[in-house]
Amino acid sequence: MNLKIIIMKPRVNKEKCIGCGYCASVCPEVFELGEDGKSHVKEEADLEKNKNCIREAKEGCPVGAIEE
Ligand code: SF4
């Protein structure tokens, strides 16, 4: 059987994000702070390659703004 692992693209809840920069520092290939001072997910992010740091960002976000 050919099982494919589907990795959900994370989302940043901008209502909650306080722009602390933690996610962008632990997982810079996926998260970056935008001009609005809030984090967002880069379009071209390689989710498979970065799955561990995505989890780290999600668990470490002080306000729980990263959702999957
Ligand atoms: Fe926003 Fe959370 Fe990232 Fe901090 S860690 S910039 S609060 S999403």
Q: Is the CB of 19 under 6 A from ligand 1?
A: yes
Q: Is the CB of 54 under 6 A from ligand 1?
A: no
- Name the token pair of 54: 């995505």
CB distance 41 to 15 below 8 Å? no
The predicted pLDDT at position 8 comes to 80
From ligand 1's centre to the CA of 59, what distance in Å? 10
Tens digits of per-residue pLDDT, 3-54? 666 778 899 999 999 999 999 999 999 999 999 999 999 999 999 999 999 9
68: pLDDT confidence band, cut at 50, 70 and 90? confident
CB distance 56 to 27 below 8 Å? yes
